[in-house]
Chain A
Amino acid sequence: MEPAEIVQHSGGVIGVSWLMIVLPLVGAAVLLLGGRRTDRWGHFLGVAMSLASFVVAVLVFFELLGLGADQRRRLVELYDFLPAGTLDVKMGLLLDPLSISFALLITGVGSLIHIYSIGYMAHDPDRRRFFAYLNLFIAAMLLLVLADNYLGLYVGWEGVGLASYLLIGFWQHKPSAAAAAKKAFIVNRVGDMGLALGIFVIFTTFGTVAFGPVFAHASQASQGTLTLIGLALLLGACGKSAQLPLQSWLLDAMEGPTPVSALIHAATMVTAGVYLVVRSGAIFEGAPTAQLVVTIVGVATLLAGAIIGTAKDDIKKALAGSTMSQIGYMMLAAGLGPVGYAFAIAHLIAHGFFKASMFLGAGSVMHAMNDEVDMRKYGGLASVMKITWITFGLGYLAIIGFPLLSGYWTKDGIIETAMHHNPILGWLAVIGAGITGFYMSRLFFMTFHGRPRWDKDAHPHESPAVMTWPLIILSVGSVFGGAFLITGNRFMLFLSPAVGRPAELPSFAPFSVTGLVTLALVAVGVVYAWLRYGRSEVPAVAPRGSLLTVFARRDLYGDALNEALFMRPGQWLTRLAVFFDNRGVDGLVNGLAALIGGTSGRLRRVQTGFVRSYALSIFFGAALLVGAWFVVGNL
């Protein structure tokens, strides 16, 4: 089934859906411009604006549901953004099942994380600034998913990049945080270049950047052009979503405060790449090569992230590896065409819940352990942090695909679809699920089970209610979200007006052969992790480990590769340029000046002050002239 027609809309809640973006933006402006005066109530304003945005999103959602299925793509025109000759960009919002799903996830999970941050950042003197940035992020992310054209998407895309940079480097007094922020920004710049190039090609091909006309005419463009656009957009998606080969920034991004890792670097911003690919489905469907590359990138990243996750002792970095891996699954599904879109977005939403819940759980653990992140110094926390343990445990079971929990439905959907599409991709995804079972169990057992290996001055305690309630709500989502979305193809039917769907709906049979093999592999991973990290003693200092462990610990040498391929040659290039500038350009100019200065310094000795010597030189000069005239005259 083709996507539905985009319909102009005015009035109703949808007519004022721009409030979703404006409210958090106003919050950010007030908090940033208000300065210290807003310190006392700033965090409440931040939470209120985020919640208000969520309420608008819910109202818009229900108004959309009230319309017929083929009427659910509403375009709200706002203003003329860029009237410049042939490039006439009208800013508008596209409210359809895809964008509203994202808006609900962003504002819903975002509000919970805002509330959690009240407790988590309670002792930070810059809490107001933190909430200002969080609100800025919500506004930019909503603009990204709601804009009805690529340029508006790009503005939001850069906005979330800025918010991400500001929040990773929130504790900028730590050099590691400042460096991580810079790294995230620069790596994202590479991806953004791809997105910008993609938009340029879209404009030159279609003469517009608005989604409606571009997608309507996508089938008329040549396959080569569509492949070019698709690959350029994929580069952008790789940067934002930390997919190979632009994955290196995400692990360092964990330097930011934990709520940031949960909201931006797990639940929402890093999934923007998946949104971009799914939104541009009409372009990718005309470019099978680009789709194939998307699936390859997805599979490579899901394996790489999983392998990295197995060796990290830093709880947040292990979770970051897992995020990479899960987004790899989403990319894989997004590259499979309309049959995969619903699974990609459903996994994205389910992942938003369980990963946010686990990140916030990790934050709760860190809060209790004096900001210690090394899992080798945890152990046995289940007994002292009951709520965190249970909510984290539910998230953990959801991500490894424990039967009937969220991850089981959404991830198995992706694996089944991939298997149907291309068995190689499918089996690699199954292996990835097995590794997921291992590394998540390792993380869970090292943190909550086994004998305590705490520092002497650590007095773990359960976090306050303002932090545990968001955990509880998120874990409800991680338990039931997947089943709600996937059973009866509910989400695929809901999404089909926006992205289309295959003529034949996939019949999802629980406990198929592939599903059973996946479960068996996951079980093997869990049992192995239990034997190594649950039952037996975990050494407090990391052992040297095998070659493979070191390989995983060093992020598969991604940083080393970047350094060798880009950083060092870049430094050589700049050094060469500086050398050329100092010696070549400056040398030429300074040398010329020195030549003239030296010559005139010597020449001025001629000015002796003796009139007779001047007379002599005049005489010789005159004689020379006369002599020359004789010679020339006689020629």
Chain B
Amino acid sequence: MTTHYLVLSALLFAIGAVGVLVRRNAIVVFMCVELMLNACNLAFVTFARQHGNLQGQIIAFFVMIVAAAEVVVGLAIIVTIFRTRRSASVDDVNLLKY
């Protein structure tokens, strides 16, 4: 019964992962990260339902809070970079290297 939810979760995670790897726009990469987080949330909730306890649901809430905090910090960084470099491409931000 819960298999369909897990397959959906895996699909969403795969889409998110591919997006993070192949897209250059920082906003899109960011959204793909959110997609992966929410795929995980779905998996947590599904397992909570399957095992009949609340632990997975509680963790899903934690993930949402962390994701919200992450969005605040991440978007601020992206906006600041865009202001100075006039670009939102992750490939242009490569100063911190060997």
Contact = CB atoms under 8 A, between A and B. Distances in A.
B21 A609 contact: no
B97 A609 contact: yes
A615 B21 contact: yes
Contacts of B96: 609
B21 A607 contact: no
Interface in B19-78: 20-22, 24, 29
A316 B97 CA distance: 80
Interface string A591-635: 000000000000011011111100110010000000000000000
Interface residues of B, number: 14
Interface in B81-98: 90-91, 93-98
A340 B17 CA distance: 107
A610 B98 contact: no
Contacts of A616: 21
A604 B20 CA distance: 23
Nearest to B32: A615
B98 A619 contact: no
A612 B90 contact: yes
B98 A605 contact: yes
A612 B93 contact: no
B33 to A, nearest CB: 10
Contact of B90 (A605, A608, A611): A611
A616 B17 CA distance: 9
A611 B96 CA distance: 10
Given A610-B91, A612-B91, A604 B98 contact: yes
A275 B79 CA distance: 100
A608 B91 CA distance: 10
Nearest to A603: B98
A616 B97 CA distance: 16
Contacts, number: 33
Contact of B98 (A607, A611, A612, A615): A607
A619 B17 contact: yes
B97 A607 contact: yes
Interface of A is mostly: helix
Contacts of A608: 94, 97-98
A615 B90 CA distance: 11
B93 A611 contact: yes
Interface string B5-21: 00000000000010011
A615 B20 contact: yes
Nearest to A608: B97
A616 B20 CA distance: 9
Contacts of B21: 612, 615-616, 619
A611 B21 CA distance: 9
Nearest to B91: A610
Interface string A104-135: 00000000000000000000000000000000
Contacts of A609: 93-98
B32 to A, nearest CB: 10
Nearest to B90: A611
A265 B98 CA distance: 74
For B90, B95, B96, B98, which residue has the most chain A Cβ atoms within 10 angstroms?
Answer: B98
B6 to A, nearest CB: 15
Contacts of B29: 611-612
A605 B98 CA distance: 6
A261 to B, nearest CB: 74
A611 B91 CA distance: 7
Contacts of B93: 609, 611
A608 B90 CA distance: 13
Nearest to B24: A612
A611 B93 CA distance: 8
Interface in A429-463: none
Nearest to A610: B94
A609 B94 CA distance: 4
B74 to A, nearest CB: 12
A607 B98 CA distance: 6
Given A605-B98, A612-B91, 18 more contacts: A604-B98, A608-B94, A608-B97, A608-B98, A609-B94, A609-B97, A610-B91, A610-B94, A611-B90, A611-B91, A612-B20, A612-B21, A612-B24, A615-B20, A615-B21, A616-B21, A619-B17, A619-B21
Can you list the 3 inter-chain pairs with the closest CB atoms, starting with the nearest?
A609-B97, A609-B94, A604-B98
Interface of B: 17, 20-22, 24, 29, 90-91, 93-98
30 contacts: A604-B98, A605-B98, A607-B97, A607-B98, A608-B94, A608-B97, A608-B98, A609-B93, A609-B95, A609-B96, A609-B97, A610-B90, A610-B91, A610-B94, A611-B29, A611-B90, A611-B91, A611-B93, A611-B94, A612-B20, A612-B21, A612-B22, A612-B29, A612-B90, A612-B91, A615-B20, A615-B21, A616-B21, A619-B17, A619-B21
